[in-house]
Structure 1
Amino acid sequence: MIAVDVWSDVACPWCYLGKHRLETAIDASGEDVQVTWHSYQLNPTIPRGEHTPHAEALAKKLQAPVEKIRAMNQRLIDLGAAEGVEYNFDRYVQANTRDAHRVIHYAQEQGLGNQMKDRLMRGQFTEGAVVDDAGQLAAMAAEVGLNAAEVRAMLETDAYDDAVQADIDEAAAAGVTGVPFFVFDSTYAIAGAQPVETFAEALRRSAEQRSAERQATA
């Protein structure tokens, strides 16, 4: 089995595209692949409960006109549409993603990490979900097979916060300054939402390396 570790943020639109491209490459490869999602926050200082429309928030962060932000978003809309990823930036609400990452860690322990990650991203980018709202997080968790009441109860504690911080610290120690960031079998690293062919090549190299290691020990 090929292990792929991915650092990304629920609020990162390029991470959504990168996730889809990775999955396309995995499906085409026929390889047995285990994807593990790691936390990363693009805007960790946003207070919980503070919600800002995406274009307005990014314009402030980049000190750019809202019109420029909308033009940047259109590029992503076009790229996503070509690959089955739907972006509705007019609905996108910026919020703190810490609790969303805690839910993903909780889901991964129950074998539903990938489903949870995808559901949260679809909520963020397509439906306009508020990803620091406990009720919305629990409802989305229930859709992928988790117990909504248990998720609500978990969110009322600090459970998995240490796991989220450990991911963030690991990324910082490795010099990761942006996401998405992919690591194949702890060997091959890819930064950014690269073309499907780039992910396919990393999978191929990982499979060949594993095959060589098996032959060497046979």
Structure 2
Amino acid sequence: MIGVDMWADVRCPWCWIGMRRLQRARGALPEQVRVRRRSFLLEPEGPVSPGRATAHVARSEWGMTAEQWESKSRHIRSVGRAEGVEINLDGAVMFDSRRIHRLLKLAEATDSVDTDAAWDSAFAAHFGHNRNLGEAETLRELATSWSVDGVGLEHALAGASFADEVIGDQEDARRLAISSVPTIVAADGRQISGMAPLDELTDFLAAAGVVS
């Protein structure tokens, strides 16, 4: 089995696109590829303007003109469609992603949950349906759709569990000089952007080597 790590943030549209592209690369190989999902926080302490639409923040805080933002948003939508995802970037709400990352760690630790599907549904909720993943009730609904609920869910929401794992991923990213996502890392330390062309991703996975 080939093993790689992939750092991503649910708030990053390129990470959803990269995850889908990586799935295609995995499918092109005869060997099974295990991807360990790693948390990367674009804003480790949370956004300056939680609850505000990305389009508004881009123009009011990032200094982009309406034309610049529309060009960027249109490009991301186009690349997303090529990978089979519809991204409504304009209406995506800014939120603190620490809690959703804790829930995704809980999902990964739950044998009955497909971690890849959980990540995909989190991206779809944020970018496809523009759900506010900063709201606890929305997160509960999402986790319940993965068949994750009960005390474990509440502990993860509150930060009583999986907080250290999320912090550990962030520290590992810093140690490996990962400054942007999506980034994929092989066992030997080689790195590649998750947005690399499909053939480059496939070659990277093929050369990553088998892990136990």
So what's the TM-score if we normalise by structure 1?
0.87
Tell me the residue number matched to 2:70: 70
The whole-number CA distance in structure 2 between the counterparts of 1:53 and 1:200 is: 35
The whole-number CA distance in structure 1 between the counterparts of 2:193 and 2:82 is: 21
Between 192-201 and 151-160, the greater mean CA deviation after superposition: 151-160
Q: Deviations over 1:143-191 (max 9, x none)?
A: 1222266423431343111111111111111111111110123443102
Secondary structure of residue in 1 paired with 2:55: helix
The whole-number CA distance in structure 1 between the counterparts of 2:173 and 2:19 is: 18
User: 5+ residue gaps in structure 2?
Assistant: none
Distance 1:142 1:49, change over 3 A: farther
The whole-number CA distance in structure 2 between the counterparts of 1:2 and 1:97 is: 29
Distance 1:149 1:69, change over 3 A: farther
Structure 1 residue ranges (4+ consecutive) displaced by more than 4 angstroms after TM superposition: none
Deviation at 1:105, TM superposition (A): 0.8
Between 110-119 and 160-169, the greater mean CA deviation after superposition: 110-119
Q: Deviations over 1:91-142 (max 9, x none)?
A: 3111110001101111111143222211111111101011121211121112
Tell me the residue number matched to 1:122: 124
The residue type paired with residue 179 of structure 2 is T
Tell me the residue number matched to 1:84: 84
Matches within 5 A, 1:62-211: 62-111=62-111, 112=113, 113-147=115-149, 150-206=152-208, 209-210=209-210
Higher Cα Rg, which structure: 1
User: 5+ residue gaps in structure 1?
Assistant: none
Alpha carbons 2:51, 2:134 under 8 Å: kept: no
So what's the TM-score if we normalise by structure 2?
0.90
Alpha carbons 2:46, 2:96 under 8 Å: kept: yes
Alpha carbons 2:53, 2:93 under 8 Å: kept: yes
Q: Tell me the number of residue pairs that the alignment of Structure 1 and Structure 2 aligns.
A: 210
The whole-number CA distance in structure 1 between the counterparts of 2:25 and 2:44 is: 31
- Percent identity, aligned pairs only? 26
Secondary structure of residue in 1 paired with 2:28: helix
Tell me the residue number matched to 1:43: 43
Between 184-193 and 174-183, the greater mean CA deviation after superposition: 184-193
Alpha carbons 1:7, 1:182 under 8 Å: kept: yes
The residue type paired with residue 96 of structure 1 is D
Tell me the residue number matched to 2:9: 9
Distance 1:36 1:60, change over 3 A: farther
Q: CA RMSD in A?
A: 2.2
Distance 1:148 1:122, change over 3 A: farther
Secondary structure of residue in 2 paired with 1:88: coil
Secondary structure of residue in 2 paired with 1:6: strand
The whole-number CA distance in structure 2 between the counterparts of 1:60 and 1:30 is: 48
